[in-house]
């Protein structure tokens, strides 16, 4: 204990002796901690945001024919005869509601003729679960579907999100053009009857919402009545697993998933992105260790005269390494605290950027476990890097350093 107290006292004195050098080392460790905490926060935020979006949908089961990210326009339409499938599912005693929905890439234009490629969302019944910020919303029912004949009168009503309104410079009461192609879009004008964040927050993209049959009409999929998925709400006392098993037996060509299973499916589909994120976290730790090692190597190398003098006085190599490692602990603690202190402002900036680009709020999240990870990495990196740097330097010091 006496040896450790001496080593700690000498380490603190060395750091106070050259404050500029100490500050450089602290900043280097803080950068390593910051990069690690931000990347880890992004990973946590992406998973939690996705889980919240699925939970907020209020649905218990998802009937799909594949991933949500496959198909024309970047979104799958793998459910055929969607209205009939949803009606059959809803007829079951345990099912409260079954709603077919379609996501399609569409062209949307304003009065100037400017076209934007957005996500078209098709919902039946006027979208009863759509949360409106402005406007009266769609009329109930799906008159154009007309029991599958698709010869009913079109309502030509659309709900957009605030990002779409900004992109097209339109609001409630204005006319927009929507279609699966530019030519088709110019032939179909819809009135904006509402502003809603419901689907843009789920997809992270600007959206335009139409009656399902009308979206199918303007995208050329009315003949097959295609949809991306059917969402199923169950009674409170229903057994999800049992209902899912029954539906899988009834529809062997489709996949039945719970919220958690659908979330995992989306994550698996984006495995490459997740792997890249994980690789970035590993690289940030490796780069932080390398940076810290180089900085502390310089710090220790500049103390070679003092180390040589202590060696000449009979101080053991073990004590000297402990002294240098003590510097690493102090530098790591200071750098870790600095990195943690500047993490919240960077998280706020990244969240603002993410919301502007992809439309998700709170995409970067920093739980206490991530901050603890940052402090732990700082202490480990600082201690190991300083010990390695000290050991390397001790091998090169010579008695000539004492005479200079």
Whether residue 83 has pLDDT greater than 50: yes
Calculate mean pLDDT across residues 311-338: 75
Whether residue 160 has pLDDT greater than 80: yes
Number of separate helices (H) and strands (E) present in the chain: 14, 9
Sorting pLDDT into bands at 50, 70 and 90, what band is 396?
low
| Cβ within 8 Å of residue 139, ≥6 positions away | 126, 155, 157
pLDDT value for 7: 55
Based on the domain organization, do 22 and 146 belong to the same domain?
A: no
Residue 324 maps to a domain: yes
Structural domain count, the chain: 2
Residue 259 maps to a domain: no
In this structure, of 50-59, 165-174, 190-199, 301-310, the range with the lowest mean pLDDT score is 50-59
Residue 260 maps to a domain: no
Based on the domain organization, do 75 and 48 belong to the same domain?
A: no
Domain that holds residue 162: 66-253
Q: CB–CB of 155/143 below 8 Å?
A: yes
pLDDT value for 264: 61
| Interval 130-146: pLDDT, tens | 788 888 888 887 889 88
Whether residue 261 has pLDDT greater than 80: no
Based on the domain organization, do 48 and 127 belong to the same domain?
A: no
Q: Cα-atom radius of gyration of the chain, to the nearest Å?
A: 31
- The answer to whether the Cα torsion of 4, 8, 10, 14 is positive or negative is positive
User: What CA–CA distance (Å, rounded) separates 116 from 110?
Assistant: 9
Residue 59 maps to a domain: no
User: What CA–CA distance (Å, rounded) separates 159 from 144?
Assistant: 17
Based on the domain organization, do 235 and 108 belong to the same domain?
A: yes
Based on the domain organization, do 235 and 297 belong to the same domain?
A: no
Based on the domain organization, do 126 and 158 belong to the same domain?
A: yes
Q: What interhelical angle do 317-358 and 19-56 show, nearest 10? A: 40
Based on the domain organization, do 231 and 106 belong to the same domain?
A: yes
Sorting pLDDT into bands at 50, 70 and 90, what band is 399?
very low
Whether residue 124 has pLDDT greater than 70: yes
The total of other beta-carbon atoms located within 10 Å of residue 85's CB is 21
Whether residue 166 has pLDDT greater than 60: yes
User: What CA–CA distance (Å, rounded) separates 289 from 324?
Assistant: 16
Based on the domain organization, do 325 and 181 belong to the same domain?
A: no
* Last residue in a domain, options 221, 253, 285: 253
| Interval 181-224: pLDDT, tens | 999 999 999 999 999 888 887 777 889 999 999 999 999 888 78
């Amino acid at each position: 204990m006496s040896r450790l107290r001496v080593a700690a006292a000498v380490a603190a004195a060395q750091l106070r002796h050259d404050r500029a050098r100490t500050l450089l080392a602290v900043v280097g460790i803080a950068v390593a901690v910051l990069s690690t905490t931000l990347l880890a926060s992004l990973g946590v935020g992406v998973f939690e945001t996705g889980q919240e979006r699925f939970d907020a949908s209020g649905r218990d089961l998802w009937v799909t024919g594949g991933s949500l990210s496959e198909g024309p326009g970047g979104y799958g339409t793998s459910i055929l005869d969607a209205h009939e499938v949803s009606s059959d599912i809803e007829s079951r005693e345990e099912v409260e509601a079954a709603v077919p929905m379609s996501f399609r890439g569409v062209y949307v234009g304003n009065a100037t003729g400017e076209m934007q490629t957005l996500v078209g969302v098709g919902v039946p019944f006027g979208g009863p679960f759509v949360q409106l910020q402005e406007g009266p919303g769609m009329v109930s029912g799906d008159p154009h579907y007309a029991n599958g004949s698709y010869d009913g009168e079109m309502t030509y009503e659309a709900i957009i999100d605030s990002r779409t309104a900004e992109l097209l410079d339109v609001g409630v009461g204005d006319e927009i053009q929507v279609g699966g192609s530019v030519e088709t879009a110019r032939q179909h004008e819809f009135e904006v009857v509402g502003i809603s964040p419901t689907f843009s927050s789920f997809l992270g993209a600007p959206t335009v919402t139409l009656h399902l049959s009308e979206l199918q009409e303007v995208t050329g999929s009315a003949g097959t009545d295609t949809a991306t998925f059917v969402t199923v709400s169950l009674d409170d006392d229903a057994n999800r697993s049992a209902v899912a098993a029954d539906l899988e037996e009834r529809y062997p060509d489709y996949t039945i998933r719970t919220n958690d299973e659908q979330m995992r499916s989306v994550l698996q589909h984006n495995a490459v992105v997740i792997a890249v994120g994980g690789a970035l976290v590993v690289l940030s730790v490796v780069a932080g260790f390398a940076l810290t090692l180089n900085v502390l190597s310089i710090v220790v190398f500049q103390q070679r005269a003092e180390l040589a003098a202590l060696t000449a006085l009979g101080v053991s190599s073990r004590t000297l390494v402990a002294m240098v490692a003590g510097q690493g602990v102090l530098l790591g603690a200071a750098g870790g605290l600095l990195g943690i202190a500047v993490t919240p402002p960077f998280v706020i900036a990244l969240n603002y950027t993410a919301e502007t680009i992809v439309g998700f709020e709170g995409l970067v999240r920093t739980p206490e476990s991530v901050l603890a990870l940052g402090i732990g990495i700082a202490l480990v990196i600082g201690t190991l890097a300083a010990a390695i740097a000290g050991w390397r330097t001790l091998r090169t010091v010579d008695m000539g350093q004492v005479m200079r």
